């Protein structure tokens, strides 16, 4: 519980007192997950290059 409060306080100090709505937060999380999936895919491709070559 304390950690959550610290996170919210930190967010408020760095981004004003406005917290993102659920939809904006969902889009942000989806973007991060998509980027992570892309990084993993690229890393796997690179690994295959070195294993095959």
25 belongs to a structural domain:
yes
pTM over 0.75: no
For residue 8, is pLDDT > 70?
no
35 belongs to a structural domain:
yes
10 belongs to a structural domain:
no
Question: What pLDDT score does 18 carry?
Answer: 76
Average pLDDT, the chain: 81
Task: State the average pLDDT over residues 29-46.
Answer: 97
11 belongs to a structural domain:
no
Question: What pLDDT score does 15 carry?
Answer: 59
Q: Strand locations in 1-53, DSSP E?
A: none
- Give the length of the chain: 53
43 belongs to a structural domain:
yes
32 belongs to a structural domain:
yes
- The partner residues of 25 in beta bridges, in order of sequence, read none
Within 13 Å, how many C-alpha atoms sit on residue 5's CB side? 2
Structural domain count, the chain: 1
Range of 52's domain?
21-53
């Amino acid at each position: 519980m304390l950690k959550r409060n610290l996170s919210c306080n930190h967010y408020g100090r760095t981004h004003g007192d406005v917290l993102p709505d659920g939809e904006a937060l969902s889009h942000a999380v989806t973007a991060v997950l998509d980027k992570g999936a892309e990084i993993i895919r690229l890393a796997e491709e690179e690994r295959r290059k070195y294993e095959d070559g």
